[in-house]
Amino acid sequence: MTITGVSGTLTHTISVTLVVTAPAPSNFSLTASPDSQTVSPGDKTHYDVKIFRSEGFTKGVTLSVSGLPSGATASFRENPASGKSSRLRVNTDAAIPSGTYLLTIIGKSGTIIRTTSVSQVDWP
């Protein structure tokens, strides 16, 4: 754009650029702790899931988990999570196979999908 100043017979012109930027999109990220848990068949364990919200993000985050071994079930204390955290509870039955399992915790809100992973070691 051009700005022109006039005073009597004097004229001065200068060109300037106006840059309009969109605000940063609202977003969130996930972490979980502890990184690893050991559980005996038939027992349960917990992981604390933290939701870090940025740029005024206030929407609920729907949580799920993948990678559970056969004989394990999972639930979240708050789901969808509207605050800064939730707790993942993993229950195992007595016949769960021994092994180390990578559990992926998935958070979804609208089109935003974020993940974090923890491991679970099952010992007979």
Nearest to 65 by CA among 117, 11, 122: 117
Along the 124 residues of the chain, how does pLDDT read in single tens digits? 888 888 888 888 888 888 887 776 789 999 999 999 999 989 999 999 999 998 888 999 999 999 998 889 999 999 999 999 999 999 999 988 888 999 999 999 999 999 999 988 876 6
Torsion angles phi and psi, residue 90, rounded to 5: -115, 120
- pTM, two decimals, is 0.77
Domains of the chain: 23-122 (2.60.40.10)
